Structures are given as C-alpha cells and as structure tokens.
Amino acid sequence: MAHATLESYSQPPRKVRLVTDLVRGKKVSEALAALTFLPKRAADPVKKLIESAVANARQEGQNPEELTIRSITVESAGMLTRFMPRAFGRASIIRRRKSRVRVQLG
C-alpha cells in the first residue's frame, strides 16, 4: 500500500477538505483529471501529492492504473499567530492555519 504526506501546507484544513472530499474513493486517473480542472487553490498541491503516491507505488512494483485512493485525510498542522492592533489599546489575534494531508493508495 503506497502513501504520501504533505506536511505543512499553508491553507486552512476546512478549505483543503473541500478538494479532498471530491477525490476520495476514486481511481487515480479520474482523481487527477478532476483536480486538473478544479478552480481551487488546494487542487494543485493535492494533485502533486497523489502523483507522488503513485510514484511511490511504482517503486514498490504496483500497477498505477489499478490503484484507487483508499483514504485521504486532512488535519491541522498548527498555526502561525500574529497580533493586529485595534482600538482602545487592544489587540486581536490573526491565525494563519496550516494543513497536513495524507493519502493512501490501494
């Protein structure tokens, strides 16, 4: 079973899940075709991640045409926090969320 991981992608997990839910359970060729024309920012990194998992499967001696996306998960990979000055001497927090994407082919 081949897998690949995207460790620290700078986009919130909620937005990346919109892309990964589209390709979960599909054949690899169908998933790559769908991601090619999807107008979302996370589509290109997820496509490259699936291509990386296919390359890993090829190294293990598996046939890439027979592979399907068994599982693809998106979880939080931490966040970068900053502060923005506001009125009356207060400060509000700015959270730059990051995602970790894991894909398994089977």
The per-residue pLDDT for range 9-52, each reduced to its tens digit, is: 999 999 999 999 999 999 999 999 999 999 999 999 999 999 99
Residue-range domain boundaries for the chain: 2-105
- pLDDT tens figures, 68-98: 999 999 999 999 999 999 999 999 999 999 9
> Any idea which residue has 């060729």 for tokens?
29
- Report the alpha-carbon distance of residue 79 to residue 82 in Å, rounded: 10
- For 2-105, which CATH class? alpha beta
List, edge to edge, every strand of the sheet that includes 91-105.
Answer: 2-9, 91-105, 69-85
Q: Which residues contact 6 (CB under 8 A, 6 or more apart)?
A: 45, 46, 49, 99, 100, 101, 102
- Report the alpha-carbon distance of residue 84 to residue 102 in Å, rounded: 33
Closest CA to 69 of 29, 34, 25, 30: 25
